[in-house]
């Protein structure tokens, strides 16, 4: 398990590199790695911009004999009141493109918003190795 602090845009780069390295170690395909790193980058940016900073935790996981890589993005920001709305392409509260969250969801195998109760945000994504 590795925890990466996300407090600056430099840290978003650190998070990207960490995910790339761990995904290669798990043995994900090049395509799955590219997708996962892109999703991680968007979620890390959201932690920084919308959540006021936080952490990314990287875990190796196993399910039904399958290996995978799981990332938890956690911040203590305002949280996401309406998750369905936030996932919609083009929805943004930051005058940006509003593509990060929905794009990230489409790029990964599992996508879960674990908490959204006004006391921060926790998003968990997982990419599985093909057997
Ligand atoms: N960690 C977070 N904490 C609070 N709100 C969030 C968080 N992540 C996303 N959101 C909310 O969901 C909206 C949509 O996120 P999304 O990443 O799709 O778009 P964006 O960050 O505004 O723009 P883009 O990612 O395209 O530059 C954000 O504008 C913000 O209101
Ligand atoms: Mg975003």
Minimum-distance ligand to the CA of 97? 1
* Closest to 54 measured CA to CA, from 115, 10, 5: 5
What pTM was estimated for this model as a whole? Answer: 0.97
> Which domains does the chain carry?
2-128 (3.30.565.10)
Q: Ligand 2 center to residue 60 CA distance, Å?
A: 25
Taking residues 34-48, report their average pLDDT: 98
Residue 4's pLDDT is: 98
* Spatial separation of the C-alpha atoms in residues 1 and 91, rounded to whole Å: 33
5-16: per-residue pLDDT in tens? Answer: 999 999 999 999
At residue 72, the pLDDT reads 98
Residue 131 has pLDDT above 90, yes or no: no
Q: Does residue 35 carry a pLDDT above 90?
A: yes
Span from the CA of 66 to the centroid of ligand 1 (angstroms): 31
* Secondary structure of residue 2 in the 3-state scheme: strand
Protein residue with least CA distance to atom 9, ligand 1 = 46
The residues that bridge with 60 in the sheet, in sequence order, are 69
Confidence (pLDDT) at 115: 66
Q: From residue 57, how far is each of 68, 69, 86, 99, 121 by CA, in Å? A: 14, 11, 22, 23, 14
In the predicted model, what is the mean pLDDT of residues 29-46? 98
**Long-range contacts of range 17-25, CB-CB < 8 Å, 24 or more positions apart?**
18/56, 18/58, 19/56, 19/58, 19/69, 19/71, 22/58, 22/60, 22/69, 23/69, 23/127
Encode pLDDT of 104-128 as tens digits.
999 999 999 986 567 899 999 999 9
- CA 69 to centroid of ligand 1, rounded, Å: 23
Question: What is the per-residue pLDDT across 45-86, written as a single tens digit (0 to 9) for each?
Answer: 999 999 999 999 999 999 999 999 999 999 999 999 899 999
- For residue 40, the number of C-alpha atoms closer than 13 Å in the C-beta half-sphere is 31
Give the position, in ligand 1's atom list, of the atom nearest the Cα of 120.
Answer: 3
Q: Residues 58, 113: contact at Cβ < 8 Å?
A: no
> What residues are in contact with ligand 1 under a 6 Å CB criterion?
42, 46-47, 50-51, 75, 77-80, 86, 91-94, 96-102, 121
Sign of the dihedral defined by the CA atoms of residues 71, 76, 82, 85, in that order: negative
CA of 6 to the centre of ligand 2 (A): 14
């Amino acid at each position: 398990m590795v925890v990466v602090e996300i407090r600056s845009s430099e840290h978003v780069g650190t998070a990207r590199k960490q995910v790339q390295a761990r995904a290669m170690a798990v043995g994900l395909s090049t395509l799955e790695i590219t997708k996962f790193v892109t999703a991680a980058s968007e979620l890390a940016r959201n932690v920084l911009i919308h959540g006021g900073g936080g952490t990314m935790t990287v875990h190796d996981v196993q399910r039904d004999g399958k290996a995978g890589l799981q990332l938890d993005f956690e911040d203590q920001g305002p949280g996401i009141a309406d998750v369905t709305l936030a996932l919609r392409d083009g929805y943004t509260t930051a005058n940006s493109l509003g593509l990060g969250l929905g794009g990230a969801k489409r790029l990964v195998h599992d996508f879960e918003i674990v908490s959204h109760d006004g006391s921060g945000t926790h998003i968990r994504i997982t990419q599985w190795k093909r057997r």
